[in-house]
Chains A and B, each alone.
Chain A
């Protein structure tokens, strides 16, 4: 008896090195890197635009997944961090600060907002939390609409000369692209590190049964707050890059609730609580979207089809694609993070 358990013990022990040998993670990141470098090789701006949108979605979905998939707190208004990061960095850029200051500042601003809000709103559970995040996003949007330094309802537009510092507009767009590629890879890595860490285990315990987790010694308020902060920082930086590339930012674009919910849909599509799910979901959703938008017949019905699809997923495969695979083939659990 004891020998079997010894063998089992050796099989299951998770030495730090094994954590870094997960094929699913590395193949996933490699594939993403190749996709990301494709426009660089082909040099086509149109491909770059398509892939930029996908990378953006991957970074956002992977970040939100840390809160939603691991911790079980569904933030409907997560776009508030994207928007705030965008605004803070656009403000700094318009004051003449360089991009490498503005983008991290956007991330920090979002992280700080999440930290300040976290302790308060993470006390709310379920639907109440979801509603509170919607309320915060709307409060932020309407506030910035009135906030003079950020340009009120007209927002902030970058002077074209700003791009001169980065080798002209064309180069600046490539720069933003590389940065978002790096952030997407970083988001996946962070997602994996959190998932396989003690911290992440605590988060998943909270997702499964918060009261039981508390009794088992998980410092739930702190763990939830840090999950919220981590899930906010990359969206803040991504927002900064998106609006830098865009050249201007307005409240209605920065805090679009619809966008938030699309990110949720991507996570659902791929499978929440898994590392690969948000990636697949983001790719799938964006692929579908661009197909619908460019197809003459479907163009007008883009929203309808997306809605029908979402409804079908929710009704019939709520665990998402990766979740479904993992459930169907339990052995995959060790390979698909």
Chain B
């Protein structure tokens, strides 16, 4: 029992880190421009297909493919911002929700036409590591380490580089940032690009160990909402912790009840936190 528990705990922690990356993308975009990106799940799915196509069709190593997906996500996100989000960023929130949802429809529609909805998987393995009685799949271990690395990278970017400081300034107060000469439109595009990149990378990492379809992004988008709210929307580090909490929950709960109850708990937690502490577990009290 103990070893089963600790195995599921470790598994949950590793997957939770990847969830955290996905949620970080969502929460970063919210923090900087108050936009909930309803195309988040579709972008996660694109990340999955990106790594799949690079690996299956071009034979590219999945971790090299990850880099390609990241760059494509960053550039694609910035382009998407310039084409659409920019026009609704000052509009009522309904417009931004519907605009991003429309993008979601377009991506899913094109994706379904191109790939159908049949499941795929990246046929790739790194073997496993034994820790006493516990067996860890190496793909998950690498994904977790990559997620940690990306988080550290994001923090170094936000706190140590000039564009990163600009991103934080714009998140804090766009008008004031503009007055200080920060090119806010370019920074907004960059932030959206990074958010999209994180979603795509998370999707790509997930694809290295779970099968998926073009519709698979949806549950991860919902998980990102839950995690984002747990950690406080707009707080990237909170998202990582929220991801760990969710991962552990998903790892541990099935030991005690059928795992179909896990999402029920997740969504109830989500609504509860929105009601009691909308600023998240670590945010300031209202």
Binding site for B on A (CB under 8 A): 68, 74, 76, 120-121, 123-124, 126-128, 130-132, 134-136, 138-139, 142-143, 145-146, 153, 261, 264-265, 268, 300-308, 310-311, 314-315, 318
The answer to whether B260 touches A146, judged by C-beta atoms less than 8 angstroms apart, is yes
Type the 1/0 row for B16-57, where 1 means its CB is closer than 8 Å to any CB of A: 000000000000000000101000000000000000000000
B99 surroundings in chain A (CB, below 8 A): 311, 314-315
Look across to chain B and name the residue whose beta carbon is closest to the beta carbon of A136: B271
The answer to whether B109 touches A303, judged by C-beta atoms less than 8 angstroms apart, is yes
The answer to whether B225 touches A131, judged by C-beta atoms less than 8 angstroms apart, is yes
The answer to whether B264 touches A311, judged by C-beta atoms less than 8 angstroms apart, is no
Q: Check A310/B267 contact, CB under 8 A, given A127-B36, A318-B95.
A: no
Q: Check A318/B260 contact, CB under 8 A, given A124-B278, A132-B274.
A: no
**Which of the residues A136, A139, A142, A300 comes within 8 Å of B113, measured between beta carbons?**
A300
Could you list some 28 contacts between A and B, CB below 8 A? A68-B94, A74-B97, A120-B275, A124-B275, A132-B271, A132-B274, A135-B225, A135-B226, A135-B267, A136-B271, A138-B222, A139-B267, A142-B263, A142-B264, A142-B267, A146-B258, A268-B94, A300-B112, A303-B105, A304-B113, A307-B102, A307-B106, A310-B98, A310-B101, A310-B105, A311-B84, A311-B102, A315-B88
The answer to whether B260 touches A145, judged by C-beta atoms less than 8 angstroms apart, is yes
A80 to B131, CA, bound (A): 46
The answer to whether A139 touches B105, judged by C-beta atoms less than 8 angstroms apart, is no
A145 surroundings in chain B (CB, below 8 A): 260, 264
Look across to chain B and name the residue whose beta carbon is closest to the beta carbon of A307: B105
Give the dominant DSSP class at B's interface. helix
Besides the known contacts A124-B275, A307-B102, 17 further A-B residue pairs in the complex with CB atoms under 8 A apart: A74-B94, A121-B271, A124-B274, A127-B97, A132-B271, A135-B270, A135-B271, A136-B267, A143-B264, A145-B260, A146-B261, A268-B94, A303-B105, A304-B110, A308-B106, A311-B106, A315-B99
A125 to B153, CA, bound (A): 34
Q: Check A138/B263 contact, CB under 8 A, given A128-B274, A146-B258, A315-B84.
A: yes
A305 to chain B, nearest CB (A): 8
Tell me if B104 is interfacial: C-beta within 8 Å of chain A: yes
A120 surroundings in chain B (CB, below 8 A): 275
The answer to whether A130 touches B93, judged by C-beta atoms less than 8 angstroms apart, is yes
B160 surroundings in chain A (CB, below 8 A): none
The answer to whether A139 touches B109, judged by C-beta atoms less than 8 angstroms apart, is no
The answer to whether A131 touches B267, judged by C-beta atoms less than 8 angstroms apart, is no
Tell me if B103 is interfacial: C-beta within 8 Å of chain A: yes
B92 surroundings in chain A (CB, below 8 A): 318
A201 to chain B, nearest CB (A): 21
B263 surroundings in chain A (CB, below 8 A): 138, 142
The answer to whether B229 touches A264, judged by C-beta atoms less than 8 angstroms apart, is no
B120-164 CB contacts (< 8 Å) to partner A? none
B106 surroundings in chain A (CB, below 8 A): 303-304, 307-308, 311
The answer to whether A142 touches B260, judged by C-beta atoms less than 8 angstroms apart, is yes
The answer to whether A314 touches B98, judged by C-beta atoms less than 8 angstroms apart, is yes
A104 to B254, CA, bound (A): 38
Tell me if B268 is interfacial: C-beta within 8 Å of chain A: yes
A268 to B92, CA, bound (A): 13
A264 surroundings in chain B (CB, below 8 A): 94, 98
A36 to B181, CA, bound (A): 60
B95 surroundings in chain A (CB, below 8 A): 314, 318
Tell me if B108 is interfacial: C-beta within 8 Å of chain A: yes
**Which of the residues A139, A146, A265, A300 comes within 8 Å of B271, measured between beta carbons?**
A139
Among B105, B109, B267, B278: residue with most chain A CB under 10 A: B105
**Which of the residues A74, A123, A127, A315 comes within 8 Å of B34, measured between beta carbons?**
A127
